[in-house]
Structure 1
Amino acid sequence: MGRSAPSEAALRRALVDVCRALHARDLIGAGEGNVSCRLGPDRLLVTPAGASKALLRPADLVVVDLAGAKVRGRGRPSSELRMHLAAYAARPDAQAAVHAHPLTAVALTVAGLPPPNDVMPEASVVLGEVSVAPFATPGTDEVPRALAPLLARHDVVLLERHGALALGRTLAEALDRIETLERVARVAFLARLAGRCEPLPAEAVAKVLAAAGVTRR
């Protein structure tokens, strides 16, 4: 028999744990970032707008429908809710979405440098191909429009000068992807400081993916 879906209480605790982990690992600060997960076939659980994610409690989270209307909760849903709605519409397989501001990864977009694709085995296996969405005004419809061509094919997307969005089958997987993105971006940055940053050859990437049993999207 398959495992039953997590209860709403369990998802609320897990989502808050992810928010605290993002803050503890310096992937967000102040009121930055937003996190969501599916809560049944037509509901999402999302972080409230303007709240410090380090101080969130499970009861602070907001329930919305797939059109973005609030169903339950005291606060307003995240100002980036439209980005989350677009992600779930494009990716029925995604159960969770994490938007954070990983410093090194965002710095690469400010410098006009390419995303850290195939720099390390972890990049190939955990992240897949990372793409960069052009700059869009945060909290507006520009963000989902910029992401629209990329969401179906990428689990991780960098938003130019803004942050990153990671999708996952679980909240933990989406968090792992954001954390891995920042670590690989840091390696790429340090390699550039040391002289050059060369990706793994395509044949090496193929071997890495085969060994891990991963098929690229």
Structure 2
Amino acid sequence: MSEQLRDRDRLVEELIEVGRDAVGRGLVLASAGNLSARISDREFVVTASGTWLDRLTPADFAVLSLDASVSGDAALGGPRPSSEWKLHHRAYLARPDAECVLHLHPRTAVVLASVGTPIRRLTLDHAYYLGEIAVVPFYHNGTDELADTAAEALRDHNCVVMQHHGCSVVADTVQMAYRRALNLEDAAQATALAVQLGDTTTAFPEDGATHA
């Protein structure tokens, strides 16, 4: 078995575990959301259309090309890719350093972004893993407008929340991407609690975002 194939199998297994855990935590429901990982300089795998993230198998991943034109078909093999494949394709083009893109639907983060309440980083983990959180307006799923707008935000951010829709996070590993997704929703829940307590300004100190 080639090294590239072994890496692909390992990445798929990591994405399968992330999908299972994300559904268990309520970060995505039913067949919503999609996951991907870069498997070479020119290819990535992404979950197939209609798949439930807690029921994924290795057969549920399509292989797509990063060399495809902006509006062209990127599919190289496997099942039909998620309708959101462009969201991943554009993210990898915008972020050559990204090895994983996770698109989930974290409820609190999406609600806060949709009603115009900024998600605040209140803990050390929020500050360390998230950085500044981008928010972009609503565009219909699967559209070039959604993919291009989210990708542009990801040029300078690791997390973007799409109003009335979901989030995309990028990282150099699957595990780091998932840490960011988890911390995004945790920051949103902490922000919502702070607002309920009457606080609208407290945030983590700007000079304190280091990790032991």
* TM-score scaled by length of structure 2: 0.90
Does the 8 Å CA contact 1:63/1:71 hold for their aligned counterparts? yes
* Distance (Å, rounded) in 2 between the aligned partners of 1:29 and 1:200: 30
Aligned-pair CA distance for 1:90: 0.6
Structure 1's consecutive aligned runs of 4 or more residues displaced over 6 angstroms after TM superposition are: none
1:74-119 deviations in Å (ceiling 9; x for gaps): x210111111111100100000000000010011022221122x32
Aligned-pair CA distance for 1:123: 1.8
Alignment correspondent of 2:161 = 158
Does the 8 Å CA contact 1:115/1:132 hold for their aligned counterparts? no
Does the residue aligned with 2:152 lie in a helix, a strand or coil? coil
2:76 aligned residue (49, 71, 86): 71
Letter of the structure 2 residue corresponding to residue 198 of structure 1: T
2:202 aligned residue (199, 202, 207): 199
1:173 aligned residue (169, 172, 176): 176
Question: Percent identity of the aligned residues?
Answer: 34
Is 2:97 aligned against 1:96?
no
Aligned-pair CA distance for 1:159: 0.5
Aligned-pair CA distance for 1:59: 1.9
Unaligned residue ranges in structure 1 (runs of 5+): none
Letter of the structure 2 residue corresponding to residue 48 of structure 1: A
Letter of the structure 1 residue corresponding to residue 84 of structure 2: E
Is 2:138 aligned against 1:139?
no
Alignment of 1:5-84 (within 5 A): 7-66=7-66, 67=68, 68-73=73-78, 75-84=79-88
- The alignment covers a number of residue pairs equal to 204
Does the 8 Å CA contact 2:48/2:81 hold for their aligned counterparts? yes
Aligned-pair CA distance for 1:173: 0.8
Is 2:113 aligned against 1:109?
yes
Aligned-pair CA distance for 1:53: 1.1
Aligned-pair CA distance for 1:200: 2.8
1:108-164 deviations in Å (ceiling 9; x for gaps): 022221122x32222211100001011111111120232243121000000011011
Letter of the structure 2 residue corresponding to residue 168 of structure 1: A
* Distance (Å, rounded) in 1 between the aligned partners of 2:49 and 2:144: 16
Does the 8 Å CA contact 2:51/2:60 hold for their aligned counterparts? no
Alignment correspondent of 1:128 = 131
Unaligned residue ranges in structure 2 (runs of 5+): none
Aligned-pair CA distance for 1:54: 0.9
More deviation, 92-101/16-25: 16-25
